[in-house]
Chains A and B, each alone.
Chain A
């Protein structure tokens, strides 16, 4: 997993609420046994017409936002299925950070496990960032995870909260499984002590 430190990019505004994982990556694209390559179908229905050509009015198709690494969205982003293909598709497209008023639980977990930083901010701050983002190519933002700060195009700084453990893992690109395996003695002890046997 790549380490996350600071990220400077144009931010793409997606002012929709309840963006679900079927929107992020429809089920018909889940028939892969790999983690990569899903970026091509990210937001497929929003991005493409039925004949496969791009919808010009969709934000990620506009020249200014094609290489955005930050996405700003409405509340309850990532609701719906548990498919990790959603963060994989975002990441494969190049999105490394999503900023929204709230996120669905499973999506939240899945994203941080793949090195995507999700930032929750109050609606007023989202509204401001959304406006900033709409400025397009000249309006880059910088997300600094260590300092927990977003610096807008006008130099304004917004502070954000992040779970300490997730921050540590993101900043160091740590793999949860390796960390947990170091505790295998404790796991074995737990198994031995389980009062009601379940096998």
Chain B
């Protein structure tokens, strides 16, 4: 018998508290990130049943989804946002949970904050009431998004009832050429397997092109695993992982660090392990990507054109394409680089880390935002913002006509004041181009940070190769 196991198997097996007859397992949760939108009903549930938080020490809270990204000294104009943020503060105080409040420099998008603080560690299970929790899988942590009932379940019991995912591996071979970013890789992968391609799966990312990514790049890839339908995305931890985590505020220290690294080195898929599904791609097939429609699988290379629904044989798909094109206000056959934009958004848990900001700044330097374009940079955390400012990147953006904002989710989901108006079109580094995601009637093209920056200065989508 083949006893070889995958990385996901190892993480799963080491967290089982109890197994039911039907195979459902009670799984221990090592880390829980909490934010203001999906937690209030969970805390209410605890109060109603007179329950406590079992392990406040394993729980970390931060307000990110609807915090304003402009002047933090003013009060929040939106009454409902304020109620949610106040509720989070009260809940954390009542239940003894550490919270990075709006004025704390450590505040930011939960999926940026966790790794930055060393809260996210290899070999752990980590959950958050947000589907992009898969981000933390970049560290070899079994991380996934949960709903509010599950948030309540974790708060009360530090466990979850789960059924195991199937094992899937996505390998991208070949050495990563200049100009292809993590965002392009994951968009191309989603384009290939579709938004339901990973349903029920934990995806391990492998192959030279993916492994050669930095931790930031790996986070971008894992972040968007959910857009391929998978709950978990994983990279086996390696020297880059350890290097990134060493010395972070919540990382283990001294002898505990040494012991942890020894253990983390064992966290990899055995050579003879068998996956339920394998996808193999070669990086030479992949060009810089952009979305044309209203689903992250609607991708095309930047030098391509808006596809033609008439060429789609599947009726369901053709209908969906027609609907998307109508919503997006695009005609089949239009070259992608002819598409004019009103807004460029650089931010979100997909692309708001320091490396993303640097990539965008290097395109912007010495250029100006095109007339009539609103361009926004929203760093992923107060600390990312601080580093960028130390490097003078804020000046580059401001001089070019960008707005330089405070950390938060911002225009990724348009819960705060940052949103697209009806019919407005954005080049966005976020992760979802659903109808209305960035504001009712708003139109989203998902791209990498460098491409969003280039679109801002040109006023239309641009192939970076053509940037003079």
Contact = CB atoms under 8 A, between A and B. Distances in A.
A84 B147 contact: yes
Contacts of A18: 195-196, 295, 320
A87 B38 CA distance: 13
A147 interface: no
Interface residues of A, number: 55
A41 to B, nearest CB: 12
The range of chain B's interface size is 35 or more
Nearest to B18: A186
A27 B430 CA distance: 15
Main secondary structure of the interface of A (DSSP, over half): loop
B38 A82 contact: yes
B52 to A, nearest CB: 11
B259 A81 contact: no
Interface string A110-153: 10011000000000000000000000000000000000000000
Contact of B195 (A76, A163, A180): A76
Query: Of B38, B78, B121, which is in contact with the most chain A CB atoms at under 10 Å from its CB?
Result: B38
Nearest to A123: B316
A69 interface: no
Contacts of A30: 37, 65, 415
A35 interface: yes
Given A82-B131, A190-B17, A196-B123, A32 B80 contact: yes
Interface in B202-248: 229, 231
A183 B26 CA distance: 9
B342 interface: no
A74 B323 CA distance: 15
Nearest to B31: A198
A104 B80 CA distance: 29
Contacts of A79: 195-196, 229
A27 B49 CA distance: 28
Contact of A110 (B78, B133, B149, B440): B149
Nearest to A112: B149
B157 A31 contact: no
A22 B196 contact: no
A158 B287 CA distance: 47
A194 to B, nearest CB: 8
Contact of A187 (B28, B413, B441): B28
B57 interface: yes
Contact of A177 (B22, B153, B200): B153
A45 B22 contact: no
A47 B66 CA distance: 25
Interface string B31-54: 100000110110011000101001
B68 interface: no
B23 to A, nearest CB: 9
A180 B153 CA distance: 8
B259 to A, nearest CB: 7
Interface stretch (B81-89, B355-363, B390-398): B81-89
Interface string B255-279: 0100110010000000000000000
A85 B147 CA distance: 9
B199 A34 contact: no
Given A33-B44, A76-B229, A177-B153, A106 B413 contact: no
A106 B41 contact: no
Contacts of B295: 18, 20
Contacts of A163: 22, 24, 163
B437 A187 contact: no
Interface of B: 17-18, 20, 22, 24, 26, 28, 30-31, 37-38, 40-41, 44-45, 49, 51, 54, 57-58, 65-66, 78, 80-81, 83-84, 87, 121, 123-124, 129-131, 133, 145-150, 152-153, 156-159, 161, 163, 195-196, 199-200, 229, 231, 256, 259-260, 263, 295, 316-317, 320, 413-415, 422, 432, 434-437, 440-441
25 contacts: A17-B320, A26-B436, A27-B413, A28-B415, A33-B40, A50-B440, A76-B199, A79-B195, A81-B145, A82-B131, A82-B133, A83-B147, A84-B129, A84-B148, A105-B199, A113-B147, A176-B161, A177-B49, A177-B51, A180-B161, A183-B18, A186-B18, A187-B54, A191-B28, A196-B123
Interface of A: 16-18, 20, 22-23, 26-28, 30-35, 45, 50, 74-76, 79-84, 87, 102, 104-106, 109-110, 113-114, 163-165, 176-178, 180-181, 183-184, 186-187, 190-191, 194-199
